[in-house]
Amino acid sequence: MQKNKIYIETYGCQMNLADTEIVLGILKNKGYTVTKDAEDADVVLVNTCSIRDNAEQRIYGRLGNFKTLKDKKPDLVVGILGCMAERLRKDLVEDKSIVDVVVGPDEYRRLPELIDVAYNGDKGIGVKLSRTETYDDILPYREDGLQAWISVMRGCDKFCTFCVVPFTRGRERSRELDSIVTEVKQLSERGFKEVTLLGQNVNSYNDEGNDFADLLAACAKVDRSMRIRFTTSHPQDLSDKLLYTIAENPNICNYIHLPVQSGSNRILELMNRTYTIEHYLNLIDKARKIIPGVSFSTDIIAGFPTETYEDHVMTLDVMRQVRYDGAFMFKYSPREGTKAYRMKDDVPEDVKSKRLQEIIDLQQQISFEINQELIGTEEIVLVEGKSRKSDKFFAGRTDSNKVVIFPVTEGINEGDYVKVKINRATQATLFGDYVEHIDIRNDNLALIA
Ligand code: SAH
Ligand code: SF4
Ligand code: F3S
């Protein structure tokens, strides 16, 4: 019997989710099938994340579960992919005897070969980083749906001092514009309604003189009823041209994820973020002028080495000034190999926790206030399906990525754009009533004309 059933679990960022689709694309070409049940699999793959220690600990915990599975089924192949594979390499095989295959983010083409090595009783290891690999020609395996991710670049050259990504993902490189646009076309033909362009720092995208604004404009033109999102923008590289491109293309969402990390210039410098808070706040002002109604989200780290109470208060101040729609908030976690690893991790754990909690509380309050202000307004919502909690309600999202819940009404289908009048709001969710259907393509074309 041929052993060809793959089970895969994915941790970490959207880029890892997109990579899993590339991995499945590669394996399906070699005759593998996908199973959603680990017990049923011949090969179990875990696409891993190293960004913080707790991300890695979670994955170690999961490997413990797969060990039990392997005890029952000794010829099961267990593979580690992604950032932890790259970071820990051979150690993974030596420390975790259940791991048979270790493949980093730039060697997925070799995965079928390395799984064969494991079938033959050896360890399959591929952890070289590449300066050129972008998997341009690989068709990712995607189930039908409304939303898709496309990695438009790989790696990162920023070397923020806290961050492991440049070490796990290697040097920055961009995919060809044409191949990305072709993929967007294929997704549109399959009925997808939303595409998110991904990169660690999309603003430095460059393909033969085409910058990220050119790429966004080209993708937006493919299908005006398709929403285009993107992440992540680095505050140093976000250009005016990009802001105008967002403003001019109604189907590019008016939403920018712009990680600030800290409100203190001293800490930003130690982080090697290469911008000041003044630059950052200017950028926010400029974006708000050029793109009326634009919203922002951010990432914040609490307790970076040497962070004082005053530095922390500056972070809270920036949050109050910008009023983010949302934020991802983390405690600093030292990562071996990074520059910050050599600094003393001198903010005590309980202080880090307290600061993080203050940051979270403030963000929740701001999100709640922003959502309260939307009561009484009409929002355009892309209907994504039934709500998770009740099939009497639909769930969808606004342009600014807010979840909207409204009663199931006849004539509404997944993938429709509808206007919903908001009548209630929590910190995380808007609730409302259906008003009417919107022909988004006509609206969007009229706005461009
Ligand atoms: N490329 C993106 C983010 C990549 S990682 C950017 O430039 O912003 C996502 C977030 O994880 C980062 O923005 C940062 O806030 C957080 N992060 C990264 N390394 C971290 C570490 N060592 N400890 C705590 N948080 C970290
Ligand atoms: Fe990490 Fe900085 Fe690159 Fe983002 S920009 S991936 S935080 S090094
Ligand atoms: Fe994690 Fe790697 Fe993404 S470290 S956040 S999976 S780039």
pLDDT in tens, the chain (449 residues): 567 999 999 999 999 999 999 999 999 999 999 999 999 999 999 999 999 999 999 999 999 999 999 999 999 999 999 999 999 987 887 777 789 999 999 999 999 999 999 999 999 999 999 999 999 999 999 999 999 999 999 999 999 999 999 999 999 999 999 999 999 999 999 999 999 999 999 999 999 999 999 999 999 999 999 999 999 999 998 999 999 999 999 999 999 999 999 999 999 999 999 999 999 999 999 999 999 999 999 999 999 999 999 999 999 999 999 999 999 999 999 999 999 999 999 999 999 999 999 999 999 999 999 999 999 999 999 999 999 999 999 999 999 999 999 999 999 999 999 999 999 999 999 999 999 999 888 888 888 87
Tell me which of 330, 332, 333 to substitute to probe ligand 1's pocket, judged by most ligand atoms within 8 Å of the beta carbon: 330
The ligand 1 atom at the shortest distance from the C-alpha of residue 335 is 22
Structural domains of the chain, with CATH: 5-126 (3.40.50.12160), 144-253 (3.30.750.210), 263-373 (3.30.750.200), 378-437 (2.40.50.140)
Which residues approach ligand 2 with their CB closer than 6 A? Answer: 156, 158-160, 163, 165-166, 200-201, 234
Distance in angstroms (rounded) separating the CA atoms of residues 257 and 229? 10
CB atoms near residue 401 (< 10 Å): 16
Which residues approach ligand 3 with their CB closer than 6 A? Answer: 12-13, 15-16, 49-51, 82-83, 164-165, 168-169
Q: Where are the alpha helices (DSSP H) in 291-434?
A: 309-322, 349-372
Burial class (CB in 10 A: 0-12, 13-18, 19+), 163: buried
Distance in angstroms (rounded) separating the CA atoms of residues 307 and 314? 11
- Nearest ligand to the CA atom of 340: 1
Q: How far is the CA of 15 from the centre of ligand 3 (A)?
A: 7
Query: Which residues fall within 8 angstroms of residue 160, CB to CB, at 6 or more apart?
Result: 261, 271, 272, 273
Q: Where are the alpha helices (DSSP H) in 223-304?
A: 240-248, 265-270, 277-290
Q: Whose CA is nearest to atom 1 of ligand 2?
A: 163
The ligand 2 atom at the shortest distance from the C-alpha of residue 157 is 3
The pair of structure tokens assigned to 447 is 């706005």
pTM of the model: 0.96
Around 391, how many Cα atoms within 13 Å sit in the side-chain half-sphere? 0
Q: How far is the CA of 165 from the centre of ligand 2 (A)?
A: 6
Q: Helices (H) and strands (E) in the chain — how many of each?
A: 14, 21
Burial class (CB in 10 A: 0-12, 13-18, 19+), 221: middle
Which residues approach ligand 1 with their CB closer than 6 A? Answer: 51-52, 162-163, 165, 200-201, 232, 234, 259, 261, 299, 301, 330, 332-333, 335
